[in-house]
Structure 1
Amino acid sequence: MSRCTVCSLGADHPGVVLDDQQVCNLCNLDFAEDLLVNYHYTSEVFAEFQQAPPAAGEFDCLFMYSGGKDSTYMLDKFVGEYGKRVLAYTFDVPFESVHAAQNIALAQQKIPATYLLDADDDNIKLMMREVFNRPAPTKPGRYLDEKLPCVSCRTFFVLRAILTAHERRIPYIALCADPQQILTMESNVREVVRGFYNTFGERLTGTLFGERLEDLLFEDDDDLPKIVFPFIAMRNEYDPDRIVEELRAKGLYDSSPLETHCTLFPLLNYYSFKNWDCMFYKLNAASHVRAVRRNGDQARNTFSIKFPRTLDLAGVEERLGGVVMAIAAGEGSREEHERTLVDLFQHMDASEDAARFVARSFLDMRSVADDLGIRLG
């Protein structure tokens, strides 16, 4: 398979096209115009939010709080530095790991915000079954097709947050996507709703949300909340290592960034390998390789997970794909799979404890799939 000579993305990766020099469209900055438009808009909305007087209601913003390092860091900043009246909204995803709950408990003790826990286990599981059990997608596919389950899950609880903010007349919603995620996130509330209808159709959307989403489509613009992306607006200041260091110094973070807070992470990799022959974080890793090639010894992070500068991306992907598909098929030894996974994640700079934590989540992939009604193979 042909690969980009800069970042190693394969020619059959969704949305990727190689030119005559075997350089992909991402490395050629074919997305630059869209990025600049999005950066300009998100920077404007964030500046507007920072300067806005206190809202007429009880809260200045609904803050989407997951318990991860990015949202914990920015929640502390919103309350302590910006002085905003914050409703910290957490959607209780049934796939969340114990580490997320521990970090949320730490924040509740130390950050004086109002905390709201929302849940809808049956409907989000129904949607995820729909995504994973669909027939194999048509290739070559579109940009981010390999991340469809993750994007769908996130959009589900973003829509729940939008509905909550709209009902409570909260003017802003803060969403702590890291700077690389600008191409995966829609910043207009009405377009978020339209995108969900396009992906799942009227029948399933109606089952999941009733008529509430349709009401948003016909609401006046001034009565819809605006989505704020603080990390994207502050992209030049984004440094995951510094964020973790500051949070740990304040006693607000007690896990590793590699210890993903989603127990579906192994299934997300299974979906990517099965349908697109790539690992779930391939775009993130390729972005790292691209940055290293272009910036030499200068450190530059634009994403939540930091990869080693000498990462053998193709080698890691090949080994990870082999073990993921073997686990999905129920083949091989659990002990051997664990050794392979721990070694892989340690090569990605995880500590032994973090590597073992993630490895064991992969070993439990079949039981998680059975619980959700997801068909493997």
Structure 2
Amino acid sequence: MTTCKVCSLNSEHPGISVDTAGLCNLCRLDIAGDLLVNYRYTSNVFHEFQHEKPNPDAPYDCLFMYSGGKDSTYMLDKFVNEYGKRVLAYTFDVPFESTHAADNIRLAREKIAADFVLDSDDVNIKKVMREVFNRPAPARPGSYLDEKLPCASCRTFFVLRAILHAFREGIPYVAMCADPQQILTMESNVREVVRGFYQSFGDRLTDEVFRGELEQVLFAEDDELPKIVFPFIAMRHEYDPDQIVAELKAKGLYESSPLETHCTLFPLLNYYAFKHWDCMFYKLNAASHVRAVKRSATGTERSTFSIKFPQVLNIVEIEEQLRRVTLQIAAGEGDRGEHLRELVSIFRGFDADEAAARFVAESFVDMPKVAADVGIRLP
């Protein structure tokens, strides 16, 4: 195993190769061509959406996927109060949602003049999560983002629910507020999102959890399908999560930290990544931070992701600590109190305050309960 001398990713990370000069393919920008194709498409769609006139035959200009996190709250406020869009704020009631995200949604409903709709399907989203987590070990060496498969599968499930809602109601755009780094690695074509789910889960499970409706999307005319909009594409260069949180708190639209709006599956996502790929869930994000800092002339440049990594953070040391504690909890080993103390220390290292660090730490020590509720097998 070799390690990239710039960003610390190793050659066993899915989708990563390290050359003889000690550089990984991300630092060499070997995937830049694919990212640029996606970037151009998403940029063109966002520009089209910004200049689109309201359709007099439709009640909404877009279905806005609203999670209650900082990014979606920030952009929902912009869509309504700056862009003047007629917005249907669509929230999928994920059974793993943080109570803090739910509190932010309540604030938005009180303060932002959009229509809100709540969708849910606990049975089927848990079925998809069981399928992902309980599968046999994936084949190595793996592909880029394979370590995030459970998260991507959960997100794709409710994205497809949103697409179906917009398709039924004739809403022309679906807005998704992933941060700029996520945008460049997400599928932006509606049909391809559908095809990707079929490829991941097969015809039987896909038709079962979506009741056969996705076939209508595959065979619809192009002008009948909604287009996916990534609003943060326009601010990819100045994206600043700290500033976003500060502005939202000043408006009374956000009362927590980004760590506190993580879903309750976050510990299990780390368990999956450590078990199958020997890396923490946020390893790519951490490597992106290291890459940005090392390539910055001032040493202060930030890359575009939601979680904050302090410049002095020792990523290798933190990852090793988190690996050990996560796998011990999953195996039912060690002392709960000691695990809690160590996890609080780890997340304080991410500049989280005491309350936020304790919130995430408690979700880790409660991981076996969440796994049992969903039907995920632990060792």
Instruction: In structure 2, list runs of 5 or more residues that go unmatched.
Output: none
**TM-score under structure 1 normalisation?**
0.99
Q: Distance in 2 between matches of 1:351 and 1:234?
A: 27
Contact kept in structure 2, 1:39 and 1:233, CA below 8 Å: no
Structure 1 residue 64, shift from structure 2 partner:
0.1
Deviations 1:251-297 (A, max 9, x none): 00011112243000000000000000000000000000000000142
Q: What's the counterpart of residue 7 of structure 1?
A: 7
Instruction: In structure 1, list runs of 5 or more residues that go unmatched.
Output: none
Deviations 1:98-120 (A, max 9, x none): 00110000000000100000000
Q: Distance in 1 between matches of 2:358 and 2:262?
A: 15
What amino acid is the match of 2:229? V
Q: What's the counterpart of residue 324 of structure 1?
A: 326
What amino acid is the match of 2:15? G
Q: What's the counterpart of residue 132 of structure 2?
A: 131
Structure 1 residue 97, shift from structure 2 partner:
1.1
Contact kept in structure 1, 2:288 and 2:303, CA below 8 Å: no
Q: Distance in 2 between matches of 1:293 and 1:66?
A: 33
**TM-score under structure 2 normalisation?**
0.98
What amino acid is the match of 1:335? G
Structure 2 residue 57 is the aligned partner of structure 1 residue 64: no
Q: What's the counterpart of residue 48 of structure 2?
A: 48
Q: Distance in 2 between matches of 1:90 and 1:102?
A: 13
Question: What aligned pairs does 1:306-345 form with structure 2 within 5 A after superposition?
Answer: 306-345=308-347
Structure 2 residue 197 is the aligned partner of structure 1 residue 196: yes
What amino acid is the match of 1:23? L
Contact kept in structure 2, 1:260 and 1:358, CA below 8 Å: no
What amino acid is the match of 1:304? S
Partner secondary structure for residue 115 of structure 1: strand
Q: What's the counterpart of residue 35 of structure 1?
A: 35
Aligned sequence identity (%): 71
Q: Distance in 2 between matches of 1:202 and 1:339?
A: 45
Structure 1 residue 212, shift from structure 2 partner:
0.7
Q: What's the counterpart of residue 111 of structure 1?
A: 112
Partner secondary structure for residue 184 of structure 1: coil
Q: Distance in 1 between matches of 2:11 and 2:336?
A: 33
Deviations 1:157-212 (A, max 9, x none): 00000000000000001000111113431100000000000000000001101221
Deviations 1:104-137 (A, max 9, x none): 0000000010000000000000010000000001
Q: How many residues align?
A: 377
Q: Distance in 1 between matches of 2:336 and 2:190?
A: 45
Structure 2 residue 306 is the aligned partner of structure 1 residue 304: yes
Q: Distance in 1 between matches of 2:110 and 2:261?
A: 22
Partner secondary structure for residue 29 of structure 2: coil
What amino acid is the match of 1:347? G
Question: What aligned pairs does 1:174-323 form with structure 2 within 5 A after superposition?
Answer: 174-295=175-296, 296-323=298-325
Q: Distance in 2 between matches of 1:257 and 1:119?
A: 23
Q: Distance in 2 between matches of 1:212 and 1:245?
A: 41
What amino acid is the match of 2:178? A
What amino acid is the match of 1:29? L
Q: Distance in 1 between matches of 2:71 and 2:375?
A: 31
Q: Distance in 2 between matches of 1:210 and 1:29?
A: 41
Q: Distance in 1 between matches of 2:30 and 2:184?
A: 12
Q: Distance in 2 between matches of 1:232 and 1:58?
A: 25
Partner secondary structure for residue 349 of structure 1: coil
Q: Distance in 2 between matches of 1:72 and 1:123?
A: 26
Q: Distance in 1 between matches of 2:18 and 2:269?
A: 25
Give the CA RMSD over aligned residues.
0.9
Q: Distance in 2 between matches of 1:183 and 1:324?
A: 29
Contact kept in structure 1, 2:329 and 2:365, CA below 8 Å: yes
Partner secondary structure for residue 195 of structure 2: helix
Q: What's the counterpart of residue 153 of structure 1?
A: 154
Q: Distance in 2 between matches of 1:359 and 1:210?
A: 38
Q: Distance in 2 between matches of 1:183 and 1:128?
A: 24
Q: Distance in 2 between matches of 1:210 and 1:90?
A: 20
